[in-house]
Amino acid sequence: MERTFAIVKPDAVRRGLTGDILKRIEASELTIVAMRKIQLSRADAEKFYDVHKARPFFKGLCDYMTSGPVVVAVLQGEDAISKWRQLMGATDPKKADAGTIRKDFGIDVEQNATHGSDAPETAAQEIAFFFAAREILS
């Protein structure tokens, strides 16, 4: 079993899409083993996205991710990382496959409804950033 990290981003929460996204997760082969709705502080957003600090989009990304509540979650299942990434679709909703979350709910590359870890190491770091081990139910 593998775990991955997911965020329902501010644009999707604001547009009332959280339930639709969670339904797609639950209908897939993934299980939600931890979840909560939070408001990221600027400091948290900057720390979480520190890997992008030198990139020109960093400030805008932090502005966006602190613009409203998000839902953070830990997903579990066989090949959870690749399955969640498939379910989300390409980062750019215009390039995402039909039926994916980003194709159906994304607005643009930034406001693309969801985030997902890209590798096991990243997933472990991202999960630990938001959740204590005791909060994850297997």
How far is CA 117 from each of CA 16, 34, 99, rounded to the nearest angstrom? 23, 15, 20
Catalytic residue among 11, 115, 126, 131: 115
Cα–Cα nearest to 34, from 129, 119, 131: 131
The two beta strands, 31-38 and 70-77, are: antiparallel
Measured between alpha carbons, how far apart are the two ends of the chain, in Å? Answer: 10
> Is 52 marked active-site?
no
Catalytic residue list: 115
